[in-house]
Amino acid sequence: MAVAKDQGLDESTIAKIERYETHDFPEHHKVALRFADAMMTQPGQISDELKQQLFQHFTRQQIIEMTVDVMKWNYQKLPVALGTDVEVAPGELTPLHFDENGNWVKPS
């Protein structure tokens, strides 16, 4: 979120994304968000309907890229579930910042 906010994401857009099905996003954006939601919550339950929507709006390469991107940003779910994650700043949310090579920059 920190990087997205640095690049112009505002609270109004965040609120729209949280309720994307009821907002005026283009259909391909809604399909991408449906896919991200499904990947994060019930990846084994992705419906045939959603698969059809994905292939209607995206190429195979784009679907693979979205899949890897969602997985990349959700890698922490397993350590959190197991209680093996380490807090950067105990008791606080840590904004994530990355350098020009995509490497995490530890907050100062």
Structural domain count, the chain: 1
State pTM to two decimals: 0.71
pLDDT by 10s per residue, the chain, length 108: 677 788 888 999 889 999 999 999 999 999 999 999 999 888 888 999 999 999 999 999 999 999 999 998 887 777 777 888 777 777 877 777 788 887 878 766
51 assigned to some structural domain = yes
60 assigned to some structural domain = yes
Give the domain extent around 44: 9-75
Q: Which residues contact 35 (CB under 8 A, 6 or more apart)?
A: 46, 50, 54, 63, 66, 70
108 assigned to some structural domain = no
3 assigned to some structural domain = no
The conformational region for residue 25 under phi > 0 = left, psi -120 to 50 = alpha, else beta, is beta
65 assigned to some structural domain = yes
DSSP 3-state of 52: helix
86 assigned to some structural domain = no
